[in-house]
Amino acid sequence: MIVMKFGGTSIADAAAIKRTISIITKKMRSKPVVVVSACSGITNLLHQLVDFTEQGDKEHSEQIISSIKDRHKDTVDGLASMVDPKRPTPDTTDINQKIDNLCNSLWTLSKAHMGGQIPDADKAYMISMGEYLSSNIVCFMMNAFGLKTAWIDARHFMITSRNYLCATADIPEVTKRANSIIDKAFKNADAVITQGFMGVTIEGDPTIMGRGSSDYSASLLGMVLDADRIEIWTDVDGICTADPNIVPEAKGINKLSYEEAAELARFGAKVLHPLSIEPAAGKNIPLYVLNSMNPDGEGTVVMNSQCIFDGVKSISYNENIRVINIYSPKMINTTGSLTRIFSIFEKHGVSVDMISTSEASVSVTVDAKAPIDPVVAELSKIGNITVDRDKSQVSIIGKNIIGVKGAVAAVFEAVSDSKIYMMSQGSSFLNLSIVVDRPEMMTVIRNLHKTFFENGN
């Protein structure tokens, strides 16, 4: 069995879905379990729908739902016209009816909560509608293209925590349910399709697992099903030496260790969800990152670190972050100061990324969107607080980079013209991160890329 996940751009429209179906066709002998996310842009529209609904903006809410409906129906029409003329013309009545029903249920919920606070479970249901729509269309078309495919509702097996909008999986429950449901589905089908991103609490309330989490869904399924491989199909040639959309010279990386890929994802590389590596790593299942627009390309395989060389593999970034500096001479020669500081972040649900400490001061980075005002107010009782805004974090990632001769010196050389606000060497020896002014970020990334990956390096 293999798990194949297709992201938004791989199913963006009729042409992309057709390409995706031809990729799946070649894997039919491996019992593919296909995980899809929403068609690109749809989850953003659903988030807007939630906002308009809460604001009581009926007109915009209705407009969004109707544009979601039109987009999916256009995709169905486009695909129906692409079916081989030798095959029967697909009857699209049922799939169009399904699209109408799903969009009607969105509208029912939107109307019910118009102008009020939407409970998180209903929000999760609304935001995950993109995956229901896309998976139904892809399944319908796989069958129309001659691939015997069963559609499975992820909410029948993806049991999660009760953190409705950013849930994590209950692995023993998922293992129990996914195996029996998927085995049963393969009795009458050669492929199975389900949705990423969404889950359900043990009580049956809808959840989602955070933006970009279809990768996590796929990796979890791979783990619980003991898949031979997990394939993450996206819009770039695998994991690259930097984000190819901002560094055109970035090259694909053939092999990365699980630890390197996880660190890259944690430090900003959007190509994989940060939680997507651990399930694959736990069972030593190779995870491939492949380009659905260039299916014959090599892509990247993420695997056990024994076969991976030491050294810098990639550069990642978080473009908009803040640095909170806490200065208090009272921290010198006292114990428990760090516990006190971090408990304040925990209390207000603000997650900390980089940390740098000295005896009298602590600096941490947080996402620019994090609600830090109550944190800063409470920290002010401990010491002097300053907040640096409009900063970016840039990280170089690779196995044992700190131990590689000259790597750290090369970083300093590459960024010598930029002001560095903070620096942190991950305790894992896998990353070296710096904080710079946001307008400087691109220059710093390009200089680092030139140093490590261009000029014959």
Residue list 202-231, contact with Mg ion (CB under 5 A): 212
Output 7 or 398, the one with its CB closest to ligand ASP. 7
Give me the helix-helix angle, 120-127 and 93-112, nearest 10°: 150
Residue written as tokens 């394939």?
A: 231
Q: How far is the CB of 244 from ligand ADP (least distance, A)?
A: 6
Output 39 or 379, the one with its CB closest to ligand ADP. 39
Output 36 or 375, the one with its CB closest to ligand ADP. 36
Stretch of residues binding ligand ADP (CB under 6 A), selected from 27-35, 237-245, 344-352, 430-438: 237-245
**Residue 269 engages ligand ADP in binding (rule: CB under 6 A):** yes
Contacting residue, 71, 73, 177, 270, with ligand ADP by CB under 6 A = 270
**Residue 397 engages ligand ADP in binding (rule: CB under 6 A):** no
Q: How far is the CB of 265 from ligand ADP (least distance, A)?
A: 9
Stretch of residues binding ligand ASP (CB under 6 A), selected from 95-103, 113-121, 212-220, 392-400: 212-220
Stretch of residues binding ligand ASP (CB under 6 A), selected from 87-95, 170-178, 206-214, 329-337: 206-214
Task: Report which residue's Cβ sits closest to Mg ion.
Answer: 212
**Residue 356 engages ligand ADP in binding (rule: CB under 6 A):** no
**Residue 274 engages Mg ion in binding (rule: CB under 5 A):** no
Q: How far is the CB of 147 from Mg ion (least distance, A)?
A: 24
Site string for ligand ADP, 289-328 (x = CB under 6 A): -------------------------x--------------
**Residue 235 engages ligand ADP in binding (rule: CB under 6 A):** yes
**Residue 243 engages ligand ADP in binding (rule: CB under 6 A):** yes
**Residue 211 engages ligand ADP in binding (rule: CB under 6 A):** no
**Residue 212 engages ligand ADP in binding (rule: CB under 6 A):** yes
The 3 state secondary structure assigned to the chain is CEEEEECHHHHCCHHHHHHHHHHHHCCHHHCEEEEECCCCCHHHHHHHHHHHHHHCCHHHHHHHHHHHHHHHHHHHHHHHCCCCCCCCCCCCHHHHHHHHHHHHHHHHHHHHCCCCCCCHHHHHHHHCHHHHHHHHHHHHHHHHCCCCEEECCHHHCCEECCCCCCCCECHHHHHHHHHHHHHHHHHCCCEEEEECCEEECCCCCEEECCCCCHHHHHHHHHHHCCCCEEEEEECCCCCECCCCCCCCCCCECCEEEHHHHHHHHHCCCCCCCHHHHHHHHHCCCCEEEEECCCCCCCCEEEECHHHCCCEEEEEEEEEEEEEEEEECHHHCCCCCHHHHHHHHHHHCCCCCCCEEECCCEEEEEEECCCCCHHHHHHHCCCCEEEEEEEEEEEEEEEECHHHCCCHHHHHHHHCCCCCCCEEEECCCCCEEEEEEEHHHHHHHHHHHHHHHHCCCC
Site string for ligand ASP, 128-167 (x = CB under 6 A): --x-------------------------------------
Contact residues: ligand ADP, CB under 6 A: 7-10, 212, 234-236, 239-240, 242-245, 269-271, 314
Contact residues: ligand ASP, CB under 6 A: 7-8, 37-38, 43, 130, 196-197, 211-214
Contact residues: Mg ion, CB under 5 A: 7, 212
